[in-house]
Amino acid sequence: MALGYGRTMPEPHPDDRYAWLYDDGRPARGTPSGDPSRRQPDLPPPNLPPPGGRPAAGPPSPPRRRRPVGRIVGLVLGAWLIFLVAVPVWAWSQIERVDAEPDGDRPAEQPGRTYLLVGTDSRAGLTEAEQVELATGPDEGGNGRTDTIMLMHVGSGPTVLLSIPRDSLVDIPGYDRTKINAAYAFGGPELLVQTVELNTGIRVDDYVEIGFGGLVKVVDSLGGVEICPETAIDDPLAGISLQAGCQEADGATALGYSRSRKTFATQDIQRVQSQREVIGSIAGEAKSPWTVLNPVRYVQVARAGTGSLAIGDNVGPISLARFAWSLSSAMGGGGLNCTVPLRDFAVNWDPERAPALFDLIASDRSADIGALCTPDGLPAA
C-alpha cells in the first residue's frame, strides 16, 4: 500500500484493534480506504489504558543518590578502634623495665598469679617546687624506700589484695632481721621480691612499681578520686588537712592521705588501709566508661600511668592489663582486701594466722581465707 513520497507500508492485519487513524483521530477499521497518505500507523487513542489496566511505564527514573551516612559511621568507628588500640601500644613502649627476678632458690610455681605492687618514695620526675608542694622532702639518692608493699593474688577464688606494713620486722637475706621497707633500699626490686618470698612462701610472678610523682599524675589525669577518712586529719608532714567524710581528692591530697600516719594511734596499720582505699579508687575511676569515651582523658591516663610505672622484665602486656583490671575487684565485687595478720600494734606478724593466710594464697584457695582477712590485720572481734 502506498503512503506517498514513493514509500509503501504493509497492509494492517484485520484483527488489529486500530489499524489506522485519520488526521482527526478517528480509527479506520478493516481494509484501509481513502487516501493512504492520510492514514497513520496503528496507535491507541489518547488516555486509553493499555491491556491489563496498568499504566504504561514511563522513562526510567534516575538512580537515587545514597547519602554516605553509613560509610561515614563506619570510617569513624574504624578510626576510633585504631585509636583505642594505638594508645596502649604506644604507652606500653614507654614503661620502664627493671630486673626483679631474684637469683637462687625460690618458691615453686603456684596456681593463679601473684603481683607485688610497690609504692616507693622516689622523687624522680618531681621538681624542687613540687617536692615542697607535696611535702615529700628532697630526694636523698639511692634506691629509696618502699612506702607501700602489697601482694595481689588473682586466681580461681576471690581476688586478694594484701598489705604488708612497711615497718614489719622480717628476715632480709644478707641483712639479718629489720624492717621490710629497707630491703628495697639495700638491693632494689630483686632483694625486695626475695625478701617477700622468703617470709611468706608466696611466689611473686609479676612486679609493678610506682613512685610519689607517678601516683599524683595518675590521680590528676583521672580528675581526682574519692577518699573517705573516718576522722579529720591534720598532718603537716603529709601536707594535708582533711575533714571527716567522703570527698574528692586531687593527686597531692591522695598522696598525702596514703602517706599520713602520725595522727593515728595505729600509725602504719591505718596507713596501709588508706593506701588500699586510694589504690581501689584509682582502679575504679580508670575502669569507668568515661575513661574510654573521652579521648583526652584516655590519652592522659595512659601517659600518666605508663610514664610513672616500672615493671619486671618478665611482665607482659596481658598480665599488666589483668593487674590493672583486678585492682578494683579486690576492693569490691567480692574481693578481699586485708593486712598481714598481726599480733599487736607493733606490727609483729601473728605466728599462726599469718602463715595460714600465706598458705591459702600460695595454694590458690582464697575462698577459704575467711576471718584470716581483716582490714587492719588484727583478729576479728
pLDDT classification of 67: cutoffs 50, 70, 90: low
Q: Would residue 105 count as lying in a domain? A: yes
Please check the confidence at residue 255 and state whether its pLDDT lies above 60.
yes
Mean pLDDT of the chain: 81
Q: Would residue 380 count as lying in a domain? A: no
Please check the confidence at residue 322 and state whether its pLDDT lies above 60.
yes
The answer to whether 154 and 205 are in contact (CB under 8 A) is no
Give buried/exposed letters for 71-93 (b at 16+ CB in 10 A, else e). eeeeeeeeeeeeeeeebeeebee
Give Cβ neighbours of residue 355 (< 8 Å, ≥ 6 apart): 201
Provide mean pLDDT across the span 169-179. Answer: 93
pLDDT classification of 238: cutoffs 50, 70, 90: confident
**216 or 70, which is more confident:** 216
Q: Would residue 48 count as lying in a domain? A: no
Residue 328: its pLDDT value, please?
75
Residue 347: its pLDDT value, please?
87
Q: Would residue 12 count as lying in a domain? A: no
Question: Which CATH number belongs to the domain containing residue 98 in this structure?
Answer: 3.40.630.190
Please check the confidence at residue 99 and state whether its pLDDT lies above 70.
yes
pLDDT over 90 for what percent of the chain? 37
The most confident of 27-36, 247-256, 266-275, 348-357, by mean pLDDT: 348-357
Q: Would residue 61 count as lying in a domain? A: no
Residue 2: its pLDDT value, please?
46
Residue 18: its pLDDT value, please?
45
Residue 156: its pLDDT value, please?
93
Residue 3: its pLDDT value, please?
46
Give Cβ neighbours of residue 162 (< 8 Å, ≥ 6 apart): 150, 151, 152, 153, 337, 338, 339, 340, 357, 361
3-16 confidence digits (pLDDT tens) = 444 445 555 555 44
pLDDT classification of 150: cutoffs 50, 70, 90: very high
Q: Would residue 47 count as lying in a domain? A: no
Residue 19: its pLDDT value, please?
47
Q: How far is CA 8 from CA 17, 36, 230, 316, 359, in A?
A: 21, 9, 113, 93, 113
Q: Would residue 35 count as lying in a domain? A: no
- Per the structure, the count of domains in the chain is 1
Residue 94: its pLDDT value, please?
87
Please check the confidence at residue 124 and state whether its pLDDT lies above 60.
no
323-376 confidence digits (pLDDT tens) = 888 887 777 668 899 999 999 888 899 999 999 999 999 999 999 999 999 999
Residue 64: its pLDDT value, please?
63
Q: Would residue 137 count as lying in a domain? A: yes
- The whole-angstrom separation of Cα 30 and Cα 16 is 8
Q: Which domain holds residue 268?
A: 83-372
The most confident of 76-85, 123-132, 260-269, 358-367, by mean pLDDT: 358-367
Provide mean pLDDT across the span 75-82. Answer: 86
